[in-house]
Each structure stands twice: as structure tokens, then as C-alpha cells.
Chains A and B, each alone.
Chain A
Amino acid sequence: MHTRVLKRITSVSALLLIVLLAAGFIGLSVGATDGGLQTVFRFFTDTAPDNPTMETIVWHLRLPRVLTAVLVGAALSVGGLVFQALLRNPLAEPYILGISGGAAVGAIIGILLGLSRFPAVSLFAFVGSMGTLIIILAVSSQQTILKNDSLLLAGVIVNAFCSAGIMFLISLTRVARLHNIMFWLMGDLSTADFQQAVVLAVTTIPCFVVIFWLSHAMNLLLAGREMALSMGLNAQTVIVTLLVVTSFMISSAVCQCGLLGFVGLVIPHILRLLIGPDHRVLVPACLLGGGAYMVICDVLARTIPREGELPTGVVTALIGAPVFIMLLRRTRR
């Protein structure tokens, strides 16, 4: 019964879980202060802690940061995967489409109004991301949303508009807040704390469940809305559910960590090459793989500069943009 697909899901997930755990281990051990490795080991070997400062750094600074990175990476990768399936376009990605940008505009408005980060700012971000999503669908679906160029063009325009909106809003604010907002915009995990990780977990994990539940429906939608209907899928309901849930998940990630670009492009692309296009396997794979990828990107952001650190979004963009160009060339062929 059910063996073939379930076996694939379990084996791929188990493998990527190991990768994720390894990444998490590195994330906890590596950083500006040495001695993390011993502290992590000591936890597992159950010997008494001898370095209280390091204990604090590992368990109170790095752990929430790693958890946040895992959840954000997972949300962005799975989000990219969903948009690629719905738009039947491997180049679709929340950042490229401007959906992250829309969420950022919403979030900044919330922040400038002096609202609490959760749930008020998150709600603003969600409204922003849904707004841009609707604009993109309206602009590019006049004939068909399948056309590469019209979709990307819509994304570029929405993104430009969002950037302008963001700069406008920032120009209204006082200088003291500026640095924080700019850093957050570039995709920042340095402020992550346990509360933030919990908020992210509560908002994204239900979304993952819904998306996995609809993963076979995404397979069918790749054959087109009409074909999906003829195979017995309530296509309209599924599409709307996926769009709303994914926007919510993305806006939640943006709210906590700003704009981390191209994650939803790189991870689904690599995993699709490795394990094929079946979304029932790809959704859990992107979840775990995206999490691991973001942890590693964050480690790089923390360790590359001699002093201080880079915004994590700089790392994801430096890796992701070349992958995007490569993909674009390939789809043009």
C-alpha cells in the first residue's frame, strides 16, 4: 500500500534532515567567539559547563538565530516552490515577483505607525504581499500567466514600485531608526531571539502542513488548470488557498527577517534537479533543504567580514542572482 511515493518522501526527508542537523550544528558552533564547538559537544556529552559566557552565546544568541534561519529558509523555499508550480514558471520567486517587497512596504508602514511587531506589523505585511500578488496576477494574466517575460516584467515593475515606496517611507522617519530599517531590509537575522522564533514557528508551520496537503494538487496544476479540473481537482479553491497561505507565510518571514532574496529560487531548482518534480517529495525536501541553506548563508554572513557581520540577504543574493541568470538562459533556449 502507498509504498512508492511514501518511501521516497521518507528517504529524501531523512537525508535532508541529516543535512539540516549538520547545518544547525555548524550554526551553533561557528561565530565571532571561539569555543562554540566545545560548548555544543559538552551539551551532548552531559558534562558540566565551564564557560558561562560561551553557554549564553550558544544557547541564547545562536540557537534562536539558527531556529529563525531554519524557519525563514524553509518558508522562502517552499514559497518559491508554490509560486513556480502555480505560475508554471521555474523563475517565479517571492523576491523576484515583488511579493517580499510588498510585504516589506506593509511592514514598514506598520513600524512607522509605531505598532507592535506581532501581530499588527505582520498583518500589514500580509496585506502588502497580497496586494502585490494581486497586481502581478492582474498585470500578467491578461492573456496568460505562463508567459515568462510578462511575469518577470510584472515582477520588476512591482519591485521598483515597492523600493520607491520603501525609500519614501524611510525618508519620512527619523535618522536614529534608519540604520535598523536598512539592515532589516537587506535581510537580517542578527536580532533573532526566542520570541521571534516562536512567532515564526506558529505562523509558518501550519502553512507548511496545508501546502504539503495540497502538494499532489500542485502536480496536477502543472498540467494546467483545465487538465487539473478534468482530473477531478477543485482547481479554483486549491489555487486561492495556496496563494493566500503562501503570501501569509512569506509576509511572516519578511516581517521577522526582511528581504532575503533568491532563496526560493536556488533551493527548489537544485532539489528538482536532484529528486524530480513530484511536489509530494519536493515540499518536505524544500522545507528541510531551505532551512539548512539559510543556516549556512547566515554562518557565512557572520564569519566572512573580519569585524561585525553582513546582512544575510547580501549572501543569499550573491549566491542566488547568478543562479537566476543561469536559469533564465536555460529557459530561453
Chain B
Amino acid sequence: MRSAIVVRNLFFSYGSKPVLNGLCFNIDRGCFFIIIGPNGSGKTTLMNLLCGITKPEKGEIDLLGQPQKKYSRTVLARTVALVPQRIRLDFPFTVQEVVLMGRTPHLGMLGLERSEDLRLARQTMEFTEVHHLAHRTIEQLSGGELQRVSIARAICQQPRIILLDEPTASLDLAHQIRIMDLMERLKQEQGITVVMVSHDINLASMYADCLLMLKQGQIVRTGAPARVITCETIEAVYGCPVLVERSSLDASPKITLIPGKHITKDTHC
């Protein structure tokens, strides 16, 4: 299978502080790829680099077999869409207006939408279950609804690759699973490559075809969840001992944090 994304020797730093230190990895087409790692490990920076918001200091990124540098801004936006941690729009746009903004790379300078764009926006809003909110302004929405609007906007770009930066952070359980299921369907039904940054290891383990674990801008391990999530890697990366079991649901690895009172000398791997 050909790769959706190939990253070679990627370096990035903010000033003198290195953030990404020579990353090399592949993401297969049509794969659900999840990046995990502690805060400050460079996950968000990596996402910004992948979608071309920031330029790498050194190294190459290939998208669908072509160097990212060769893409024009518009074609890049038709190839990769980003769902940021939080979409910030202080002005009272309606849900439909925000979703339609995703059509920008397919439209002219004034972004005047055709009827098929409107149809696509409606379809997408139905897919992410926000169609009933179409004419509400986005400041009236809850966190989960706003995130699904943001996702609908990204899908409207009709990308081949969708990048999501901690889409489930600060959402309650039902909304978390809803968004993960949406991404699973997007992958299954449309063959879109889903790349997600997640802080929730258990959720990541259940959905990911492939995981990548980052620490201080370097890859600790990448591969199937069972290979990446072990009590050794978690303790090495996050600095706390955990219990790794198999989920009774699908045998994916599942971690349990260990409270201080249960930690003995044998607890550590």
C-alpha cells in the first residue's frame, strides 16, 4: 500500500528550543493513525508541519507521493484539512457559514458557494450531526457541538487526509466516543486517512491502526497499539507506572493508572 504521508528527518525548533528532533515515519493511506505523548512532546507542532501551516527547519514531508513544498496553498488545502484543538471565532457566524468556509479551496476569491457546495455542506453537517444547529451562531454551542462543526468544516474541504489535534480534549465521555466513531466512519466510508493527536491512550488504543509515541520531539516507538503500549514505554515516556491489560472488548491494550498507595517496589516494569 502506498503511503499517505512520508516524513523524513524532520527538525523544528522555536528559537533555540528544539521541538522536533529528526522524525522519520510513514502513514499508510486509509489508516487511522494516532500520535500520543506527554505535553510538550511536539505533537501540535508536528500537526502544523504536516498541514503546511509552519515550514520545517530541516527534512521533508511527502503527501500522497509528492513533496509538500510542491503543493500550492489551494491544492494543499484540498489534500489536507486540519481540525485545531479549539476553533476560535469571536464573531457570531452561524454553523452553516463556518462549515461553508471549508469550501474555500474549491471556490473563487469571494468564496461564493454554488448549490452543490451548499448540498455538500448540508450532507456533512448531517454526517457530524450538527444539521439541526445550522442556523445557530457558534457562540451558542457546547464544546462537543463546536468540535463537530469544526470537523464538518474540515470534511467540506474534501481532503484525502484529515488531521485532528486532540479533538476529544475537554469533552465528556459520550462526545468523545461520538467523535472517535465519526472518524472511524470517515476512514471506512470515504477512505480518508485520519491522523489524530490524542491524550487518551485507552481511546487511542481501541481505534488506531497504528500508533506513534513521541517524547521530547523524538519517536519512542511506532506500530500497532499492542507494540507501542507496554508498561515499559508508558513508564519511560510519561514517568509513571501503569498497569497494562487486554481489553475484554477487542483485546486492545488498556492502561490503568496506579495510585500511590498501590505502588510497591515490584510495580515498576
Contacts and interface: CB of A to CB of B under 8 A. Distances in A.
Tell whether A pairs with B. Answer: yes
Contact of B87 (A89, A216, A219, A223): A223
A67 to B, nearest CB: 28
Interface in B46-81: 48, 51-53, 73-74, 76-78, 80-81
A229 B101 contact: no
Contacts of A230: 51-53, 77, 80-82
A231 B112 contact: no
Nearest to B163: A230
Contacts of B109: 213-214, 216-217
A219 B112 CA distance: 12
Contact of B93 (A2, A217, A278, A280): A278
A234 to B, nearest CB: 5
B118 interface: yes
B111 interface: yes
Given A5-B113, A278-B97, A229 B118 contact: no
Contact of B111 (A1, A219, A224, A277): A219
Interface string A221-256: 011101101111110000000000000000000000
A256 B92 CA distance: 35
How many of chain A's residues touch chain B, expressed as a range?
20 to 34
A6 B112 CA distance: 8
Given A226-B84, A229-B52, A232-B105, A280 B111 contact: yes
Nearest to A88: B90
Of A216, A226, A230, most buried by chain B (CB within 10 Å of CB) is A230
B113 A277 contact: no
A4 interface: yes
Interface string B93-112: 11001100110110001111
Contacts of A223: 87-89, 98, 101
Given A230-B51, A230-B53, A230-B82, A2 B113 contact: yes
Interface residues of B, number: 36
Contact of B48 (A213, A220, A226, A232): A226
Nearest to A231: B104
A326 B52 CA distance: 40
B115 interface: yes
Nearest to A331: B90
Nearest to B105: A232
Nearest to B114: A1
B113 A233 contact: no
B73 A229 contact: yes
Given A219-B111, A222-B89, A227 B84 contact: yes
A215 B84 contact: no
Nearest to A215: B110
Contacts of B80: 230
Contact of A231 (B89, B102, B113): B102
B73 A222 contact: no
Interface of B: 48, 51-53, 73-74, 76-78, 80-82, 84, 87-94, 97-98, 101-102, 104-105, 109-115, 118, 157
- 7 cross-chain pairs, A with B, having the tightest CB-CB distances, nearest first: A232-B77, A232-B105, A216-B111, A277-B91, A2-B112, A230-B82, A232-B74
Interface of A: 1-6, 88-90, 213-217, 219-220, 222-224, 226-227, 229-234, 272, 276-278, 280
Given A230-B77, A232-B78, 4 more contacts: A5-B110, A219-B97, A227-B84, A229-B52
